[in-house]
Amino acid sequence: MRTTLFYVPAEFAGQPLFGIGWLLFAWIALGVVGALILWQNPQTRRELPGYLPVFLLIAAVIAFVLPTLVEPGPGGKPLGLPVRGYGVMMMLGTVLAVALAAYRAHQVGIDPDVIYSLAITMFIAGIIGARVFYVAEYWNQEFSPRRTGSVIATIQSIANVPKGGLVVYGSVLFGVPAGIWFCLRRGLKVLAIGDIIAPSMVVGQSLGRVGCFLNGCCFGGVCLNHDYAMTFPADSPPYAQHASLGWHSGLWPIEKGDRVAVGYLDPAGPASHAGLKPGDHIASINGVAVDSLSRAQQLLASSQSGFEIATDDGRVARWTTPPAPPRSVPIHAAQLYAAIDAGLLACFLWLFFPYRTRDGEVFAVLLTVHPISRFLIEMIRSDEPKYPLTVSQWLSIGLFLAGIALWIAIERGPRRCNLPPAPSPLPA
């Protein structure tokens, strides 16, 4: 986990870099130069009005949003704009996704500029959708004015996307309709373009999940029996969840049959030297009988002065409140599982493209395969409430059914493609 990679200084040569400063002036100059270059070509001149909203949006972000994200340092002096690992991986994922789609478009005779314009449309819609879904899902935990302290602080928290907090399915539900609108407006074949961009959609997600790993979000459930389990530091979301369940004690209880047992002990904490060992059945905590896992977690979380654990075989372990464990309980690295899953699917979709027989088949594979793996990965995640399924699992079911419907519609159509096959990725 590495939430912040480095800081961009807030000032340069005594003048602000963000807000009404160097970066805004450089962006305006770049926009003017770019507009002049596009104006010289009659074919690109008509694209200028489409770029204007994006140009103005980025200028507004530089002028009004970035200054609010500068973090203060010692003595109140601005430390700088934090460059988050999550944001960097999102940027790299976007660049790679657009590059792959543009390359594929060039292979089949489509002007890559069409892909660039499509990418801008889908990216903006996708980011808005992903953030809307995240804010809606975690409103009470992170964004409500009661949580942040004021409406202004809530707005700043919502705008702080580089810190993390996007729901992938939100980007799909907003980005795909925006892409369909773009294709219809340009007279492009929707399914044919969908086949081109399908690998890119999961390539971006793969790198985005690496960003989740750096940020510590979208984490998995406790995993005590495998060497590949990972622990996270004290300032991470997994640690915060575990601390709320009594992990400050250095003891993590689990269900073992119909009883509660010691599941994991902080290796360097006093609980591990008090005579307990994993597998011991817990009879009581601080003199209160333990009849369920939730009861054990409640008793551990509520105790601040010390702990007394009685086991079923009559042993009693006591220790005073120790320093908090430095790292979380071992958990599944669900973010890396999802990154590997999306990367493998992207490779398969890329290789499958030359062998499609109807427009839409590549995109249909994406809609049917990805929801299955996402549904399964959600089963080992513990950062979202389940009622009894998570929101993403319900959406996975919906997308899978949409994929089946798309397959049926495709197979009923003629056996032909509107775009020529790309060169085979395999030697003849």
What contacts 83, CB < 8 A, 6 or more positions away? 4, 5, 6, 7, 8, 162
Which pLDDT does position 162 carry in this prediction?
61
pLDDT at site 428: 43
Express as a percent the part of the chain with pLDDT over 70: 97
CA dist 412 → 311, 360, 408, 416 (Å): 66, 12, 6, 12
Does residue 259 sit within a domain?
yes
Which residues of the chain register pLDDT less than 70? 162-165, 420-428
| Residue reference for tokens 């340009």 | 186
29 phi and psi, to 5 degrees?
-65, -40
Angle at which helix 48-60 crosses helix 112-137, to 10 degrees, equals 40
Q: How far is CA 230 from CA 1, 26, 220, in A?
A: 10, 43, 10
Identify whether 428 is part of a domain. no
Whether 206 and 103 map to the same domain: the answer is yes
pTM for the full predicted model: 0.79
In a shared domain, residues 308 and 278? yes
Q: Please spell the DSSP secondary structure of 291-338, one letter per residue.
A: -SHHHHHHHHHH--SEEEEEETTS-EEEEEPPPPPSB---B--HHHHH
SS3 at position 284: strand
- Report the C-alpha gap between 188 and 295 in whole angstroms: 59
Range of the structural domain that residue 304 is part of: 237-320
Amino acid at 16: P
What is the tally of structural domains in the chain?
A: 2
Contact 239, 233 (CB under 8 A): yes
* Shared-domain flag, residues 216 and 287: no
The tens digit of pLDDT for each residue in 193-245 reads 999 999 999 999 999 999 999 988 889 999 998 788 999 999 899 999 999 99
Structure tokens at 363: 């995109």
405 found inside a domain: yes
Here the CATH number for the domain that contains residue 283 is 2.30.42.10
Q: Report yes or no on 21 lying in a domain.
A: no
Q: Kindly report, residue by residue over 236-284, the tens digit of the pLDDT.
A: 999 999 999 999 999 999 998 889 999 999 988 888 888 889 999 999 9
